């Protein structure tokens, strides 16, 4: 028998905090399973041809750790602000702060300490990385406090957060990030963000308005139209990037287009999971648990490395 949705705070049963240490509760609040989103900082390392540069690899790794810390700060602040609404959510009510396993004051103290540590590391690594990291924290801070309640701006803010991650990775390894890759990052993040909004809207049904104000401005039909635009734009941008004159000149091959079937399948598979399996509410979890999708990403990565870096790859083409 299907469970009836929770519609008000008076009808929601109390959530018992699980027996867990403070350290475990704090770690769970940082959402380590979401750290896969920060892997985008390594894009410049791969596509900027710095993969064999030890210093660049170290810088990219430190940048990844910095953004794991900063994203954790955003999650802590967000969970403190939304703890009352999260208690009405069938899944989010189990989060440590919403369930009472982690006190809001403790979470804010941890957020402040993590902010100082992460930004200090960013500026020590590179003043430019520090500036981008600060921009990321300010942008996502605005998202947690206000922008997530404004229709369309909510998903755009998340998408620009991914762009800043990719930009920070490029700055850290001292390469010029391709405009194509920045655009692709924006469009792909927008596609995932819109799909997540649709999953939330469908799963929460009539309770969506109570959980987040911006959800009241969306409808499944509207989101389907937006997702269609983002889907087509993402795939077209990737195809154009692979055959762009500068891309061919940089990698010495025009065979990157051969990898197009992987993002095509991946996007279509994601849409299938959102529409037919009611997935998409947690993109990071979906990527880690859906084997076909995970295999697609892995095979795409292998294909890119083989085409670009294999010894038998096509020799560099003459510029112009």
Task: Say if 308 falls within a structural domain.
Answer: yes
132 lies in the same domain as 197: no
The CATH number for 91's domain is: 1.10.357.140
* Of 149, 177, 205, the domain-final residue: 177
161 lies in the same domain as 203: no
DSSP structure class, residue 206: G
143 lies in the same domain as 241: no
Q: Can you give the pTM of this predicted structure?
A: 0.80
Task: Say if 92 falls within a structural domain.
Answer: yes
- C-alpha angle with apex 44: 193 to 163, nearest 5 degrees? 30
Task: Say if 3 falls within a structural domain.
Answer: no
Task: Say if 12 falls within a structural domain.
Answer: no
Task: Say if 124 falls within a structural domain.
Answer: yes
262 lies in the same domain as 299: yes
Residues whose CB falls within 8 Å of the CB of residue 245, separated by 6 or more in sequence, listed in order:
none
* Of 117, 152, 177, the domain-final residue: 177
35 lies in the same domain as 155: yes
Per-residue pLDDT of the chain (320 residues; tens, 9 = 90+): 444 444 443 344 444 444 458 888 888 888 888 888 899 999 888 777 666 778 889 999 999 999 999 999 999 998 888 888 778 777 778 888 888 888 889 999 999 999 999 999 999 999 999 999 999 999 998 988 888 888 899 999 999 999 999 999 999 988 887 888 889 999 999 999 898 888 888 776 666 555 667 777 888 889 999 999 999 999 999 999 999 998 888 888 889 999 999 999 999 999 998 888 776 667 777 878 889 999 999 999 899 888 887 655 555 444 44
pLDDT 10s digits, 59-80 = 999 999 999 999 999 999 988 8
- Give the structural domain span for 154: 21-177
Hey, what's the torsion of the CAs at 279, 285, 289, 294, to 10 degrees? 100
Task: Say if 193 falls within a structural domain.
Answer: yes
Number of domains in the chain: 2
Task: Say if 318 falls within a structural domain.
Answer: no
Burial letters for 154-178: b for 16+ Cβ neighbours within 10 Å, e otherwise?
bbbbbbbbbbbbbbbbbbbbebebb
pLDDT value, residue 226: 94
Residues whose CB falls within 8 Å of the CB of residue 233, separated by 6 or more in sequence, listed in order:
187
* Of 115, 144, 177, the domain-final residue: 177
Task: Say if 8 falls within a structural domain.
Answer: no
């Amino acid at each position: 028998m299907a469970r009836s949705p929770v519609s008000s705070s008076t009808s929601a049963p109390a959530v018992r905090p699980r027996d867990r240490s403070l350290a475990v509760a704090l770690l769970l609040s940082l959402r380590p399973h979401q750290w896969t989103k920060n892997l985008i900082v390594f894009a410049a390392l791969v596509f900027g041809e710095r993969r064999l540069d030890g210093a660049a690899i170290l810088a990219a790794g430190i940048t990844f750790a910095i953004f794991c810390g900063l994203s954790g700060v955003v999650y802590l602040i967000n969970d403190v602000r939304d703890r009352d609404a999260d208690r009405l959510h069938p899944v989010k009510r189990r989060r440590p702060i919403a369930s009472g396993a982690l006190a809001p004051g403790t979470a804010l103290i941890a957020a402040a300490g993590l902010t100082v540590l992460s930004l200090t590391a960013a500026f020590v690594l590179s003043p430019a990385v520090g500036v981008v990291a600060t921009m990321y924290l300010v942008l996502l801070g605005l998202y947690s406090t206000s922008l997530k309640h404004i229709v369309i701006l909510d998903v755009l803010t998340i998408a620009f957060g991914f762009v800043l991650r990719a930009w920070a990775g490029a700055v850290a390894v001292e390469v010029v990030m391709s405009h194509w890759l920045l655009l692709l990052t924006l469009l792909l993040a927008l596609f995932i963000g819109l799909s997540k909004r649709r999953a939330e809207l469908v799963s929460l049904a009539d309770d969506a308005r109570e959980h987040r104000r911006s959800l009241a401005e969306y409808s499944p039909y509207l989101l389907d139209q937006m997702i269609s635009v983002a889907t087509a734009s993402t795939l077209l941008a990737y195809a154009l990037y692979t055959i762009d004159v500068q891309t061919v000149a940089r990698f010495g091959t025009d065979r990157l287009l051969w990898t197009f079937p992987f993002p095509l399948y991946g996007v279509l598979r994601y849409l299938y999971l959102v529409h037919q399996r009611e997935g998409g509410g947690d993109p990071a979890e979906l990527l880690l648990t859906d084997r076909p999708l995970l295999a697609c990403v892995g095979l795409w990565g292998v294909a890119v490395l083989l085409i670009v870096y294999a010894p038998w790859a096509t020799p560099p083409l003459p510029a112009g």
